Structure 1
Amino acid sequence: MIHGSIDLIDDLCTSCMICARECPTWCITLTSHQEQSVPAPGARPRTHNVLDTFTIDWALCMYCGVCIEQCPTDALVWGGAHVPSADRLVDLLHDRGQLGRDSGA
């Protein structure tokens, strides 16, 4: 497997924060909010996290794959292509739109 960029499969992410906590360089940041849903008539409302932002700072990333290995829902995967160099550090911050991948579901 080629260790290039890391892709985020948006709809698999539960905003558990394990990737951000386990990252040795703290290059991942994410924010989320909680929403309530009622799964079936008569059932109690359930609270679940909804992902708002997800960012990887490629200037800090070591491409070690710890985030991918630790993700319990397989929302992070190797992307294949390396992240292109940039003239400005801010251009190495990639958000959900740049990291996104369709789950194929």
Structure 2
Amino acid sequence: MLFHVYIDVQIPHGTDPEKLKELSEREHERAKELQLRGKWIHLWRVAGKYSNITILEVADPAELHDILSSLPLYPFMQIEVTALCKHPGSLELNK
């Protein structure tokens, strides 16, 4: 299953900068691991925001939840999820 995921990270004021740096480094490593495993298909930064748009390919919504909740910055995220399916007019269907 494919999911479009919009993630907006909202760090509370007063968060320890060293803790945030460590969480951010772990976040990048986790995203890299998921990309290498073929789960995190696309990752785009939203210009001017601490946000991203992601496409994930997972077996089911439960796996999606497990992946999202495993992200180190998850406690600071506002997440919107949309399930995707192939469009009949897409040229990708012929591949």
TM-score by length of 2: 0.38
Which structure carries more helix by proportion?
2
Tell me: higher relative CO, structure 1 or 2? Use CA pairs within 8 A at least 6 residues apart. 2
